């Protein structure tokens, strides 16, 4: 547990949580019109010019926005203030590039509307931190000699054939670039929160195939020829939740 002096010396962007994940990074495309229905005040779809500049390796498709989904097994996740390590858990989360506008200032962010988890305590704790989480005790991970899969009945089915794995040096640039943008959420308390999220120490990186069917609100997303996927082990950190003015305060610059 941090001493009072150590706590007072923490900076807003310092790690609040950290851990080690094993994840499938799945990139795909989502209809812009459907995403617009989920966006909150001050959020908008980035222009094609912004997307091309910030994510140059991603193909731009008319009426579609690229997004990233992580299918993760989370380990050694530690809350830094009280120095608590939580039990390993499963987590599925997704990120959409959005533009956040405040008093004429525009920032490209990674909007994380929701997370799915298999443990109740972790779900409640996330809500207290401002994160929108759904508890799904039937979220399952299965691994055989030929296949890895995640599933939530009537919501999501994702499988990754073992024979599609091919070792590569690094994850797809889009997957890495998503985390260089401010993580943006809209809490159950109707508050917009910003986080600094970092991923690093990548190892065992593979290119993989993904077969996905995901029902999100009124949209059904299925994998196709535009789907891209990596498998990797890595470490992550995330900061405390911050308001706009605190996150972008010149006194607290973000170290990229």
| pLDDT tens by residue, 27-82 | 999 999 999 998 999 999 999 999 999 999 999 999 999 999 999 999 999 887 77
- Greater model confidence, 146 or 127: 146
CA distance 25 to 228: 8
Query: Do residues 68 and 175 lie in contact, with contact meaning Cβ atoms separated by under 8 Å?
Result: yes
Q: What are phi and psi of 8, to 5 degrees?
A: -65, -30
Q: What DSSP string describes 54-72?
A: H-TTSPP-TTEEEEEEEEE
Q: How confident is the model at residue 86 (pLDDT cuts 50, 70, 90)?
A: confident
Higher pLDDT, residue 47 or 2: 47
Domain boundaries defined on the chain? 16-247
At residue 208, φ and ψ (nearest 5 deg) are -145, 170
Q: Can you tell me the distance from the alpha carbon of 7 to that of 167, in angstroms, rounded to the nearest whole number?
A: 42
**CA-wise closest residue to 39 among 226, 178, 221, 217:** 217
Higher-confidence position of 82 and 243: 243
Percentage of the chain beyond pLDDT 70 is: 91
Higher pLDDT, 68 or 119: 68
- Mean pLDDT, all residues of the chain: 90
Give the 3-state secondary structure of residue 29. Answer: strand
CATH code for residues 16-247: 2.40.400.10
Identify the residue with better confidence: 91 or 133: 91
Q: Helices marked H in the chain — which ranges?
A: 4-8, 32-38, 48-54, 120-128, 173-178, 244-247
Alpha-carbon distance of 74 to 21, in angstroms, equals: 5
Per-residue pLDDT tens over the stretch 193-227: 999 999 999 999 999 999 999 999 889 999 999 99
| E strand map for the chain | 17-31, 43-44, 64-79, 84-85, 89-102, 105-111, 115-117, 133-135, 140-143, 147-152, 156-161, 166-167, 183-186, 192-195, 197-208, 211-216, 219-222, 228-238
Report the alpha-carbon distance of residue 218 to residue 123 in Å, rounded: 24
**pLDDT at res. 4:** 47
- Which tens digits make up the pLDDT trace of 169-198? 999 999 999 999 999 998 777 889 999 999
Could you tell me the CA-to-CA distances from 6 to 68, 78, 242 in Å, in that order?
35, 17, 19
């Amino acid at each position: 547990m941090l001493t009072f002096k150590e706590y007072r010396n923490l900076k807003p962007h310092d790690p609040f949580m950290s851990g080690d994940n094993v994840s499938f990074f799945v990139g795909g495309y989502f209809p812009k019109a459907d995403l617009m229905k989920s966006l909150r005040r001050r959020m908008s779809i980035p222009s094609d010019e912004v997307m091309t500049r910030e994510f140059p390796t991603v193909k731009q498709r008319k009426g579609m926005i690229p997004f990233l989904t992580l299918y993760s097994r989370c380990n050694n996740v530690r809350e830094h203030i009280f120095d608590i390590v939580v039990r390993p858990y499963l987590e599925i989360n997704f990120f959409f590039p959005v533009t956040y506008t405040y008093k004429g200032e525009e920032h490209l962010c990674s909007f994380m509307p929701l997370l799915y988890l298999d443990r109740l305590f972790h779900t409640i704790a996330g809500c207290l931190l401002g994160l929108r989480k759904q508890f799904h005790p039937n979220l399952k991970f299965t691994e055989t000699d030929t296949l890895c899969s995640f599933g939530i009945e009537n919501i999501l089915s994702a499988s990754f054939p073992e024979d599609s794995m091919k070792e590569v040096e690094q994850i797809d640039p889009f997957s890495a670039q998503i985390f260089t943008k401010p993580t943006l959420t809209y809490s159950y308390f109707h508050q917009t929160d910003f986080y600094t999220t970092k991923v690093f120490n990548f190892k065992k990186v593979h290119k993989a195939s993904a077969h996905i069917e995901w029902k999100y609100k009124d949209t059904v997303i299925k994998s196709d020829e535009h789907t891209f996927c990596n498998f990797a082990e890595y470490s992550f950190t995330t900061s405390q939740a911050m308001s706009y003015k605190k996150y972008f305060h010149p006194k607290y610059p973000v170290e990229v």
